[in-house]
Chains A and B, each alone.
Chain A
Amino acid sequence: MDSAIIGTWLAALLTLGIMSFLYKDNLYYKICEAIFIGISAGLWFITYFWDSLYRIAWIGVVHEGRYVLLGGVVLGVMMLMRLFGKIGWIARWPLAFIVGATAGLKMMVYFTTNAMAQIHGTVNDTMAAFGGSGLYDVVGRIVILIGTVTGLVYFYFSKEHKGLFGGVAKVGTWFLMITFGASFGYTVMSRMSLLLGRIDFLLTDWLKLVK
């Protein structure tokens, strides 16, 4: 038999197995899940092995002489010390390195690209609101201004949401609700096309029920 036909059957059986979970957990789903976990864990390990260990660490250090990468290898080996009970504590060093690096890097990234850029965007938008454009735009931008400020009030931790402040925070939650509703409504329909693709595969490529 043609390998493509075997492949199609295999793919179809796995597809049905995953879908059977919708009815309830069962033997068929458990087998598919087990295959999924085993195959995918292996796949990722292989990808890491060739892409990071071989291409970055081995080629980088041995062939390109980028000895600075040896630091990473040393930290990586320290990580493995976890396997040896007595000196397992040394694995905390690479962990500390990673947490420190993430905290330091992400702090700046979030500060510049999230906070600064969004404040800049809001100020720019609302500034332009009075620049003589149509009523539609002016209303839109005033809404952006009110929404951003009241939304921030909602996130304010060190003041009780009571009285006027509470009212403003309430308006803030309304804006958050609009945001959530919009994202939800936005995604609902596009998720249908994902499933359409799978059903099309089953009906057309596998069962050949549809031309």
Chain B
Amino acid sequence: MLALLRIAKLVVFISSSLFVISLLPTHSVHSQDASPSGSNLGPITVRAHDTDNDAGGSVTVEWDDPGYEKMSGFAGFLIWRTNTLTGTSDSVEVTPFGTHSYDDRSVSDDSTYSYLVAALVNSERVMSAPSMQVRSAKQWFDSRLTWVLILGLIICGAVIYFIESAKRGTKLFLRRIAGLEAIDEAVGRATEMGRPILFVAGIQDMDDVQTIAGLTILGSIARTVAEYDTKINMPVRASLVMTAARETIKHAYVTAGRPDAYNDDMVHYVTDEQFGFVAAVDGIMVRERPAACFFLGAFFAESLIMAETGNSIGAIQVAGTAMPAQLPFFVAACDYTLIGEELFAASAYLSGEPRQLGSLKGADVGKAIAMIVILVGVIATTIASAWNSESMLWIENLLRKMFSTG
């Protein structure tokens, strides 16, 4: 039965293909042996298959060029599609020089298709044989990301493992970070001098992780501020950050047992404009003369303008950002700088809570993996090229595959 059905399908398919070919303008259709300018080029072979790792609705067509591209007057490849269920055909695309594959994104998962590719040479068309029938489908998993998933699971697993083990009371050692130890000192100094502290959580909105990192640190700082009864001034560049920062500070005041001392005006919106915000922050610095300035979040060119102004009023400055290009300016103009990863680790450090500290230990596992992979990769390559070792070559290729992200 099944075989019969297949034969029937094949018949329908071949006849429809022939039908398509007959529809093409006859004067320009040539079979392979009648290629233009009398050259003896072989046939174009076409393969069509469902596009990998997509959400359906796309078929990939690939073909070999026996040499039409090198002929003078070559204008491209024409892709011709037949819907084998309905029998309708249409041209899909003319691809440019040097292209030998094409993703047809205008197909439906409910139909089957067959493709022809024609080389356009001097307004003549050299047709290929039709491809096998193909149907597009969606994939449930992007197989290119297999290694991303595996490595991701290992690192996340390590983080969660250390969080759990810290919860059970395993003691963890963490090295000191100078910038964090300075925070208490800075707040303390502001209290003594009776001056406010200034906090800037970067100039990005809540869709940047650095802003969120800045706010988590704000949580700890605000608690100290509440305990010491210092004033905090936080201008923000984005309204969402304003809302989030208010929640954070309010929570800190409640935790410190002084909810009455909290006031919404501690956080105020200025403007969304980058340099307008900077102009305002500079103004606040020279007029209110805060004793301590914190710049924790994502910063761009304004980093140095703010840090230098802060420096000129003699404030203790603690900065932290994951913007590599801005780090040098903070290092130059601030007393302490949290470099890259330290920004994200800071709130865990400050909280002192075992579970939070555990997560840092987990991230260290990731760093260890990175270092090991880099070293193993280099050693394997060296041996592979020096002694032609098959196994080392295998390791080298595996590593290349693991870390290529498509």
Direct contact between A and B judged by beta carbons closer than 8 A: yes
A: residues with CB less than 8 A from B are 18, 21, 24-25, 29-30, 32-33, 36-37, 39-41, 43-45, 79, 82, 91-92, 95, 98-99, 101-103, 106-108, 110-113, 115-117, 119-120, 122-124, 126-127, 129-131, 145, 148-149, 152-153, 155-161, 176, 179-181, 183-184, 187
For residue B126, give the distance in angstroms from its CB to the closest CB of chain A: 41
Complex: how many Å from CA A96 to CA B199?
A: 22
Contacts of B247 in A (CB 8 A): 92, 95
Contacts of B367 in A (CB 8 A): 152, 155-156
For residue A3, give the distance in angstroms from its CB to the closest CB of chain B: 24
| CB within 8 Å of A: which B204-241 residues | 206-209, 212, 240
Interface pair A145/B374, CB less than 8 Å apart: yes
Complex: how many Å from CA A159 to CA B396?
A: 30
CB-based closest 5 A-B pairs: A40-B273, A44-B272, A180-B328, A120-B403, A40-B276
Given A120-B403, A160-B173, A176-B339, A37-B280 contact (CB < 8 Å) = yes
Contacts of A179 in B (CB 8 A): 324, 328
- 14 interchain pairs, CB-CB under 8 A: A29-B283, A30-B283, A41-B272, A44-B272, A95-B244, A98-B206, A111-B155, A115-B370, A130-B386, A148-B374, A156-B367, A157-B360, A158-B175, A180-B328
For residue A28, give the distance in angstroms from its CB to the closest CB of chain B: 12
Interface pair A119/B400, CB less than 8 Å apart: no
Q: Mask for B304-321, Cβ within 8 A of A = 1, else 0?
A: 000000000000000000
| CB within 8 Å of A: which B250-278 residues | 269-273, 275-276
Interface pair B271/A112, CB less than 8 Å apart: no
Q: Which residue of B243, B283, B368, B405 is within 8 Å of A91 (Cβ)?
A: B243
Given A37-B276, A130-B385, A180-B331, A102-B371 contact (CB < 8 Å) = no
Interface pair A98/B240, CB less than 8 Å apart: yes
14 more CB-based (< 8 A) A-B contacts, given A116-B405, A129-B378, A179-B328: A40-B272, A41-B276, A45-B272, A98-B206, A99-B244, A102-B212, A103-B212, A111-B155, A112-B405, A156-B364, A157-B174, A157-B345, A157-B361, A158-B175
For B360, the closest partner residue in chain A by CB is A157
Interface pair A106/B209, CB less than 8 Å apart: yes
Contacts of B377 in A (CB 8 A): 123, 126-127
B282 on the interface (CB 8 Å rule)? yes
Q: Which residue of B175, B269, B286, B374 is within 8 Å of A157 (Cβ)?
A: B175
Q: Which residue of B208, B341, B378 is within 8 Å of A145 (Cβ)?
A: B378
Interface pair B148/A112, CB less than 8 Å apart: yes
Q: Which residue of A113, A149, A160 is within 8 Å of B374 (Cβ)?
A: A149
Interface pair A184/B332, CB less than 8 Å apart: yes
Chain B: interface residue total (CB-CB under 8 A)? 66
Given A99-B206, A131-B385, A183-B324, A37-B271 contact (CB < 8 Å) = yes
Complex: how many Å from CA A23 to CA B250?
A: 38
Interface pair A99/B212, CB less than 8 Å apart: yes
Complex: how many Å from CA A157 to CA B340?
A: 13
Complex: how many Å from CA A95 to CA B276?
A: 26
Complex: how many Å from CA A187 to CA B360?
A: 33
For B339, the closest partner residue in chain A by CB is A176
Complex: how many Å from CA A95 to CA B375?
A: 43
Complex: how many Å from CA A30 to CA B381?
A: 63
Contacts of B172 in A (CB 8 A): 158
Given A156-B364, A157-B361, A158-B172, A119-B378 contact (CB < 8 Å) = no
For A117, the closest partner residue in chain B by CB is B405
Q: Mask for B147-168, Cβ within 8 A of A = 1, else 0?
A: 0100110010000000000000
B102 on the interface (CB 8 Å rule)? no
Interface pair A130/B382, CB less than 8 Å apart: yes
Given A40-B272, A130-B385, A183-B328 contact (CB < 8 Å) = yes
Interface pair B207/A43, CB less than 8 Å apart: no
Complex: how many Å from CA A148 to CA B361?
A: 20
Contacts of A116 in B (CB 8 A): 148, 151, 403, 405
For residue A16, give the distance in angstroms from its CB to the closest CB of chain B: 14
Given A41-B276, A159-B173, A123-B283 contact (CB < 8 Å) = no
Interface pair B206/A102, CB less than 8 Å apart: yes
For A39, A40, A130, which residue has the most chain B Cβ atoms within 10 angstroms? A40
Contacts of B155 in A (CB 8 A): 111
Contacts of A149 in B (CB 8 A): 371, 374-375
Q: Which residue of A21, A99, A103, A184 is within 8 Å of B329 (Cβ)?
A: A184
Interface pair A153/B324, CB less than 8 Å apart: no
Q: Which residue of A126, A152, A157, A187 is within 8 Å of B378 (Cβ)?
A: A126
B399 on the interface (CB 8 Å rule)? yes
Interface pair B373/A119, CB less than 8 Å apart: yes
For A36, A113, A149, A183, which residue has the most chain B Cβ atoms within 10 angstroms? A36
